[in-house]
Amino acid sequence: MSQDSNSTKQRTYAPSQEFASQANATADLYTQAEEQGEEFWANQARDLLSWSTPFNSVLDWSNPPFAKWFEDGKLNAAYNAVDRHVEAGNGDRVALHFEGEPGDSKSYTYSELKDEVSKAANAMESLGVSKGDRVAVYMPMIAEAVITMLACARIGAIHSVVFGGFSADALRSRIDDGEAKLVVTADGSYRRGKPTQLKPAVDEALSKGGKSVKHVLVVKRNGSDVPFENGRDVWWHEALEAASTEHTPSEQGAEDPLFILYTSGTTGKPKGILHTTGGYLTQAAYTHKNVFDLKPETDVYWCTADVGWVTGHTYIAYGPLLNGATQVIYEGTPDSPHRGRFWEIVQKYGVTILYTSPTAIRTMMKWGEEIPAEFDLSSLRLLGTVGEAINPEAWTWFRKYIGAEKCPIVDTWWQTETGAIMISPLPGVTETKPGSAQIPLPGIAVDVVDDAGTSLPNETDGFLVVRKPWPSMLRTIWGDDDRFVNTYWAQFGDKYFAGDGAKRDADGDVWILGRVDDVMNVSGHRLSTPEIESALVSHPSVAEAAVVGAADETTGQAVFAFVILSDHATTEARDETELSEEIRAHVGKEISPIAKPKKVLIVPELPKTRSGKIMRRLLKDVAEDRPVGDVSTLADQTVMQQIVDSLGTK
Ligand code: ATP
Ligand code: MG
């Protein structure tokens, strides 16, 4: 039963009896984790994965912060994600429904996926790739991207996926950092109805670097005319046609590397995060099963992320397939060819579980609830979000217009570094609270501490740390153990420092206050970015907002707010000065006069990374009147210019 209180901010939503009674995870999971300690994870690893050599050692933490989980065990990730479902008699179940942007689609059963992954593994081996080699994957969101990742895992090669929207330079630096032997790419893709090209960026990257690269394997996706270097470049379809569907998965040690993935670079030079096999897969399967309540026989799961970021690794390529799920992957943008595309896909495949980002939800809000209302969304039973704190306003909208006021929402906090979800409600257990990721998952020891590392009481702002090693934790930064130690462990010694500010509310629920680098200090008061942004977004004319603290002579820092107007506010074309003033006053009323932005700047767009995160440091450059810094990891590199131009004319 839902419980009402006076303010929408504090309203909580208990899971329905119907949902709770069928949920995979019950409150008992917390008790088990508490009682069993490390053995809890050993049990998950044994229950959820198939080991070719069982492990005896659970955790080796003798050389912190370098953890080893299940070290003497052996297994193969691709065997676990694909083959064993076929062996168990589920070969005819659909593993992937691929939906192309132009509307083409193709489904792969687990048997078909096994054949494709085996062929790709054989093809890569015949190109000289073997265990431990690095493979750069620069692809659109097509089935072959997932097939490539699994093929790497099958032979023990380490994949390093680089977002397909990144520039040739970003690709080159990642290829060089990992010394990749093979690049897997596509001729191109489709974006907003038009064919785009990807292969030329690979050629450019390799002309400036990439000396380690021997071959480029190219998927023909849109048939566009791309340069081809004989000897080096190989067509995917030709290589796979020649390859056998028989392939024996290589036996990997639990601590053998599975992949490298660079963080989104919101705060500085991207870090090549290294994940290994046994622990990562354990937590991927465990969280996917319990947080998303997956029922492999009946659910249709869709995560809208790109494989270029960690969510696309753990919650597309690994977690769902380990659990034998049927999932949808979509190539394109949410507004192509129309703004109802997401909902059309939900309707077409009968999606039951939808995992997306707050930024996508705010975009849908901006477009208006009339759009989803045109589609049949009744198949949905669970919704999830990740990437940044979700504003209560967006959470409530999501629940109402997408979730028919019945779907539990799981707001999941985690990072590239953590490998899998760490803080989240359990959908059949937790009474959810809009805006808060709430509680650490069973088995995870999260804390909020002060700068000396001392645990803080509720209702006090501090730093988010993880107290105990967890299976899917990063093992290091590729090639840079020192940076690994300095970035995450130097601050608090034995605790992992996540880089995020946080506080626990009176109920002990965790609220993420944004990155510590983004926390603002106005006249001695620490202000959190998500809190002010949520207040801004709760103004009817504001669709999206980002705030930064800019140096200020009198107050130390002053709050600058950048806002995008909602569609109806844009149409009304109100006087901008008057509207800005109204929005400022609104924040003052919602939070406090101290939080009132010094300036509200109305802009056409906000600078976002590939994973939809706002890059506040660039806005800070604008607010402090400096040349704009490195924009190479922005999803759209022209955005900063648009913002500067729009402000210039005001
Ligand atoms: P970089 O570390 O290079 O700056 P990044 O931190 O953006 O990149 P990710 O690992 O993709 O790269 O993002 C993790 C961060 O995203 C978290 O540290 C947190 O700030 C934010 N985040 C993710 N999920 C949530 C959530 N549910 N609530 C609040 N913040 C979240
Ligand atoms: Mg980070």
310 lines ligand 1 (CB under 6 A): yes
Q: How far is the CA of 269 from the centre of ligand 2 (A)?
A: 11
Q: How far is the CA of 317 from the centre of ligand 2 (A)?
A: 21
Q: Which of 564, 164, 201, 170 is nearest to 333 (CA)?
A: 164
Report the b/e string of 241-251 with b at 16+ CB within 10 A.
Answer: eebeeebebbe
Backbone angles phi, psi at 30, to 5 degrees: -65, -40
Testing ligand 1's pocket by substitution, the residue of 266, 473, 515 carrying the most ligand atoms inside 8 A of its CB is 266
Residue 274's H or E segment, with its range, is strand 272-276
Residue with the nearest Cα to atom 5 of ligand 1?
264
Residue with the nearest Cα to atom 22 of ligand 1?
388
pTM over 0.90: yes
314 lines ligand 1 (CB under 6 A): no
pLDDT at 637: 81
Pick the atom of ligand 1 nearest to 413's CA: 27
358 lines ligand 1 (CB under 6 A): no
Pick the atom of ligand 1 nearest to 273's CA: 10
193 among the known binding-site residues?
A: yes
pLDDT at 268: 63
pLDDT at 2: 39
The pLDDT tens digits of the residues spanning 579-593 come to: 999 999 999 998 888
Share of the chain above pLDDT 70, in %: 97
500 lines ligand 1 (CB under 6 A): yes
More confident residue, 634 or 202: 202
Mean per-residue pLDDT over the chain, rounded: 94
263 lines ligand 1 (CB under 6 A): yes
Kindly indicate the confidence band of residue 442, based on its pLDDT and cuts at 50, 70 and 90: very high
Mean pLDDT of 112-117: 98
Q: How far is the CA of 568 from the centre of ligand 1 (A)?
A: 31
State yes or no: pLDDT of 287 exceeds 90. Answer: yes
Taking the C-alpha atoms of residue 576 and residue 362, their distance in angstroms, rounded to an integer, is: 22
542 among the known binding-site residues?
A: yes
pLDDT at 593: 87
Q: How far is the CA of 476 from the centre of ligand 2 (A)?
A: 14
pLDDT at 38: 97
Pick the atom of ligand 1 nearest to 271's CA: 3
State yes or no: pLDDT of 9 exceeds 90. Answer: no
State yes or no: pLDDT of 225 exceeds 60. Answer: yes
Q: How far is the CA of 412 from the centre of ligand 1 (A)?
A: 11
192 among the known binding-site residues?
A: yes
pLDDT at 633: 77
559 lines ligand 1 (CB under 6 A): no
CA distances from 23 to 28, 41, 306 (A): 12, 20, 28
Closest ligand to C-alpha of residue 516 is 1
388 lines ligand 1 (CB under 6 A): yes
Share of the chain above pLDDT 90, in %: 83
Mean pLDDT of 564-575: 83
Of 347-351, 473-477, 540-544, which range is least confident? 540-544
Kindly indicate the confidence band of residue 263, based on its pLDDT and cuts at 50, 70 and 90: confident
Taking the C-alpha atoms of residue 211 and residue 243, their distance in angstroms, rounded to an integer, is: 27
Q: How far is the CA of 360 from the centre of ligand 1 (A)?
A: 15
The pLDDT tens digits of the residues spanning 227-239 come to: 999 999 999 999 9
264 lines ligand 1 (CB under 6 A): yes
pLDDT at 186: 98
The pLDDT tens digits of the residues spanning 314-335 come to: 999 999 999 999 999 999 999 9
Pick the atom of ligand 1 nearest to 412's CA: 27
Pick the atom of ligand 1 nearest to 270's CA: 3
Q: What is the Rg, in whole angstroms, of the alpha carbon atoms belonging to the chain?
A: 24
Q: Which of 159, 143, 503, 596 is nearest to 329 (CA)?
A: 143
Helical packing angle, 110-126 and 143-155, nearest 10°: 60
304 among the known binding-site residues?
A: no
State yes or no: pLDDT of 575 exceeds 80. Answer: yes
Kindly indicate the confidence band of residue 649, based on its pLDDT and cuts at 50, 70 and 90: low
The pLDDT tens digits of the residues spanning 57-104 come to: 999 999 999 999 999 999 999 999 999 999 999 999 999 999 999 999
State yes or no: pLDDT of 338 exceeds 80. Answer: yes
105 lines ligand 1 (CB under 6 A): no
Residue with the nearest Cα to atom 8 of ligand 1?
264
487 lines ligand 1 (CB under 6 A): no
Q: How far is the CA of 514 from the centre of ligand 1 (A)?
A: 8
Taking the C-alpha atoms of residue 70 and residue 614, their distance in angstroms, rounded to an integer, is: 37
Q: How far is the CA of 345 from the centre of ligand 1 (A)?
A: 27
Q: Which of 600, 607, 603 is nearest to 640 (CA)?
A: 607
537 among the known binding-site residues?
A: yes
The pLDDT tens digits of the residues spanning 461-471 come to: 999 999 999 99
Taking the C-alpha atoms of residue 622 and residue 610, their distance in angstroms, rounded to an integer, is: 21
Q: SS3 for 57? A: coil
Q: Which of 605, 590, 615 is nearest to 639 (CA)?
A: 605
Q: How far is the CA of 499 from the centre of ligand 2 (A)?
A: 7
Q: Where are the beta strands (DSSP E) in 126-181?
A: 134-138, 158-161
Q: How far is the CA of 498 from the centre of ligand 2 (A)?
A: 7
Kindly indicate the confidence band of residue 611, based on its pLDDT and cuts at 50, 70 and 90: confident
State yes or no: pLDDT of 571 exceeds 90. Answer: no
pLDDT at 427: 98
Please answer whether residues 178 and 136 qualify as being in contact, where contact means their C-beta atoms are separated by less than 8 angstroms.
yes
pLDDT at 3: 41
Pick the atom of ligand 1 nearest to 609's CA: 7
State yes or no: pLDDT of 5 exceeds 50. Answer: no
Please answer whether residues 521 and 549 qualify as being in contact, where contact means their C-beta atoms are separated by less than 8 angstroms.
yes
pLDDT at 6: 38
Mean pLDDT of 603-610: 89
367 among the known binding-site residues?
A: no
649 among the known binding-site residues?
A: no
306 lines ligand 1 (CB under 6 A): no
498 lines ligand 1 (CB under 6 A): yes
pLDDT at 381: 98
413 among the known binding-site residues?
A: yes
Q: How far is the CA of 520 from the centre of ligand 1 (A)?
A: 18
Testing ligand 1's pocket by substitution, the residue of 412, 413, 438, 441 carrying the most ligand atoms inside 8 A of its CB is 413
523 among the known binding-site residues?
A: yes
